[in-house]
Structure 1
Amino acid sequence: MDQEPLEISIDGRDPTYKQFPTWSFRRLQALIPARAVLYLLSFSGFLVSFVMRNDINLAIIAMVRHPVRNATDDSSTELYCYTQTNVTEDEDSGRPNYEEGDLDWDSTIQSTIISSFYWCYVMSQILGGYLTQKLGPKTVFGYSQLVTAIGSISIPLATDIHFAAVIFVRSVQGFASGLTWPAMYAMAGRWIPPSERSRFMSSFQGFSFGIGLTYPLCGWLIANFGWRVVFYVTGSLGFTWCIFWFLLAYDTPAVHPRITPYERSYIEVSLGETVVKGKGLPVPWKELFKSLPVWAIGITTFGRIWVSYTFIISGPLYMKTVLGFSIQTNGLLNGAPFLLSYVTSVIFCYLADVIVTKNVMSLKNVRKMNTAIAQVVPGLICVLIGYLGCNIVPILVVWFIAVSCITAAYAGAMASIVDIAPNLAGPILAFAQTIHMSASFLSPIVAGFLLKENQSLEQWRIVFAVTAIVSVSTYFMFQIYGTDEVQAWNYPDSKPPMQQDDTNTPLQLLNVDERQKSSSSEPKEK
């Protein structure tokens, strides 16, 4: 006799775990969804990726020789909030000074080494979307991380050869890392039900945790073991993560060997037919390029990246040259806001899901509200920082608030990538990244140009004002053209499911026993 279909709860929890022995693997399997495992892999993956990306930002300070500042310079009171003696640290004569570098690289060479990562990062975005469609997100994300890890371990050797070798290695790392975001967005489109996407997007904030850990970790390693160890450690972290990724990640629920039939049914029914099973759906580039919602995402997030990288790259320079913090203090204070921002990203994404689920606001308005929080608020705070002068405590408070607010973007414009085209989330992210990640090197270049001759507080106010203008003005593109509607070109032949085949029947929710029977080639027993 056929069993009745089992009604699945709205949150997708698997109640069948109770039928398994308490300490059995099957019970643990039912209690820990495959989606939760994917969340952890996504979070840790972006954490490791950004550790390997940003390790050189602090390490290069210990790699090169720095000119000695003239403490008797009469203009120091105009340029700095401190005197030279305020940042002089006691030296331990019994230990080597690992913070004193021996490489004669001028500021041009140093900036070229750091920025070379982002030039190639931008170049690989479209290719990342294409490879994701052809090879699957598991392969693309995994091997991208592996190449980046190899690059990290190779940097000390490249340094011994020539600075051009370091530029080459960083370029390869940037190119490989550029493939990761399109791959993970595509994975989310295939795995995560719409009602859970905002929460899943918080896993992308692993990058904030990565930035937050990189500076204090690298500072400690440099102080105790020297700068070379930094790259050996970060590269090893990358290798270790890759092992777990290749063992536990799968392109779709349909090919996952350990997912429960119950969870698979929940995902497939929740996604409906907005997601096409398998690989190789052609990318409608022409329609994508003509789509105003897609352009809105790319242009709006350009402003978010600009303000974000003002804090990531220019921020440490401001804290060192204007506020006068030591390297260790600088690293800690620059890392701490990004550790906090993971918590705020979870809060923003959770609240977004709750608001939508309870019908307090429409999904489109939630996306726009969070985008405003992520760009308008930090932009205005940048202006405020410039006029707080040397009031360090208020500066640090609003600094933390600004970095935290930026994370709302993952419940805003960034989440709408999956909303408008879950089948093509990878290519859309690649297109948007090509636009907005150009801000990752334009932001520090503009700051460097404005500060080239004079690093006074008034010049920094100009830097912060430019950041505010870019961040706030680009937001209005999403306010006007942002949407949550699935685009027609998300489907094969640009036809929504009901238009493709009128004979389609809805997917049914099956319990464990019935799913196992339906997957068998034998007829059901009556």
Structure 2
Amino acid sequence: MYVDSNNFDTFKYYLTNTSNVAEILSCRRILYVMVASCFILNALLKTVINSAIVAMINKKNQTDANLFDWTESEKQNILGIFFWGFALTKIPSGRLAEVIGSRRVSGYSMMLASLLTLLTPILAYWNYYALLTSRVLMGFLLGASWPAIMPLAAKWVPPEEQSMFMTTLASSAIGISLASHISGILIPKFGWQSVFYITGSMSLFWSLIWFYLIYDSPQQHPRISHKEKQLLENTTRKNVNAHLKKKFGEIPWKEILTSKPVYAIVFAQISNFVATMIILTQLPSYLDQVFQYNMKEIGLFSGLPTWGKLQSWDSAKSKDNIVQQETEMLACKSNNIF
């Protein structure tokens, strides 16, 4: 195997240079990793039942006491009722994060959702309506963590890195795919209950790490370096000040509600979400009922479509590079003027 010595030396220098290592381990880089993993686990908890439910229900002429005799209507209620809670917490949770902090809203919502995931097998055996109630609560909690992350960007993300930070939302595609793949591996070996125990435990452990590593602002972080703190204060002060000074009555609601581009974005997002959710919730059952695939095959094929969403990371990186170049050009022009 041939290794380019120039590339190897560059890589070695990057790792051994103290400033580069400090940059990799900076608080805002850790924030990016934790936010990306938040969306991965959020999607994992949200969609793992889509594949698991195939293995939870008795097939025709099957009488396994450990499985359920739910009708198709009851099955669809379990899959669909989640989204009522998911939709209702979008606006309130964003505002709540502005008031009490993203750290607490996102951290506690993920922690409670993890506990409900761990309890899913127990609730399913106990009572059908208890399971439905837990799914609604799961929707409330997992829906809350998405908008609650956004206030962090104003205080932690420099302008030239904002596009890349926002594409951490695309990491949810990893969680969606992993939910299917993990189900295809675990269920045939350990039973359908195993996917809820493992994914719930992973997310619960993540919640504890989140509270240790993440803070709402650089000023609150006890372990941030002085250099990084000063950098973030200088680059994000304008965003933070604008965010704090903007009152509810000062928001141009009329212009927003009469803007054609706003409605174009809204309808595009709704269409994308509906199409994606139909595929996520129904594809495992479709592969089971129409093609009679086994659980391993269902886990493999139902997780493949969402991997394509990761291409958005490349476009975001390109946009950040353009913003950084324009910022540098403006700085050069300012220096020439003075």
**With structure 2 as the length reference, what TM-score do the two structures score?**
0.81
Judged with a 3 Å threshold, the aligned counterparts in structure 2 of structure 1 residues 280 and 329 are, in CA distance, closer, same or farther, namely: farther
Structure 2 CA distance for partners of 1:235 and 1:279, relative to 1, 3 Å: farther
Change (3 A) 1:129 1:213: same
- 321, 327, 346: which one aligns with 2:295: 327
SS in 1 for 2:252: helix
Find the counterpart in structure 2 of residue 221 from structure 1: 186
- The match for 1:42 is 35
Provide the rounded CA distance (Å) in 2 between the counterparts of 1:324 and 1:355: 49
**Does residue 157 in structure 1 map to residue 105 in structure 2?**
no
Kindly provide the CA deviation profile for residues 244-291 of structure 1, in whole angstroms up to 9, marking residues without a partner as x: 100000101121222222222222222242223997975449734751
Instruction: State the partner residue of 2:209.
Output: 244
Q: Take 1:277 and 1:232, find their aligned partners in 2: how far apart are those partners?
A: 44
Cross-structure match for 1:129:
94
Q: Which one has the largest radius of gyration?
A: 1
- Tell me if structure 1 keeps the 8 A contact 2:185–2:299: no
Structure 1 partner of 2:57: 64
Post-superposition shift, 1:176? 0.8
Quote the sequence identity (%): 28
> Conserved in 2, the CA contact under 8 Å of 1:62 and 1:101?
no
Q: Give the corresponding residue for 2:7.
A: none
Task: Report if aligned partners of 2:47, 2:281 keep a CA contact under 8 Å in 1.
Answer: no
* Structure 1 pair 284–295 and aligned structure 2 pair: CA distance change class (3 A): farther
Return closer, same or farther for 1:226/1:280 CA change in 2, 3 Å cut-off.
farther
For residue 138 of structure 2, the aligned residue among 173, 184, 198 is: 173
Q: Secondary structure in 1 aligned to 2:241?
A: coil
Task: Compute the displacement of 1:27 (Å).
Answer: 8.6
* Aligned CA-pair RMSD: 3.0
For residue 40 of structure 1, what is the amino acid of its counterpart? V
Which structure has greater helix proportion? 2
d(CA) in 2 for partners of 1:252 and 1:272? Answer: 11
TM-score w.r.t. the length of structure 1 is: 0.54
User: Is 2:319 the partner of 1:352?
Assistant: yes
Seen in structure 2, the aligned counterparts of structure 1 residues 305 and 142 have a Cα distance that, compared at 3 Å, is same
The answer to whether the 8 A contact 1:29-1:258 is kept is no
The 1:102/1:131 distance shift into structure 2, 3 A limit, reads same
Distance 1:244 1:27 in 2: 24
Structure 1 SS opposite 2:224 = coil
- CA deviation map 1:170-196 (0-9, x unaligned): 111110111111111111232111211
TM-superposed deviation, 1:348? 2.1
Moved more, 261-270 or 43-52: 261-270
Tell me the residue number matched to 1:299. Answer: 267
Specify the SS of the correspondent of 1:133: helix
1:431-510 equivalence runs, <5 A: none
Q: Which runs of 4+ in 1 moved over 6 A?
A: 277-281
Question: How many angstroms apart in 2 are the aligned matches of 1:30 and 1:354?
Answer: 18
Matching residue of 1:338? 306
Alignment length (residue pairs): 309
Secondary structure of the 1:276 match is helix
* Unpaired runs of at least 5, structure 1: 1-21, 69-96, 360-526
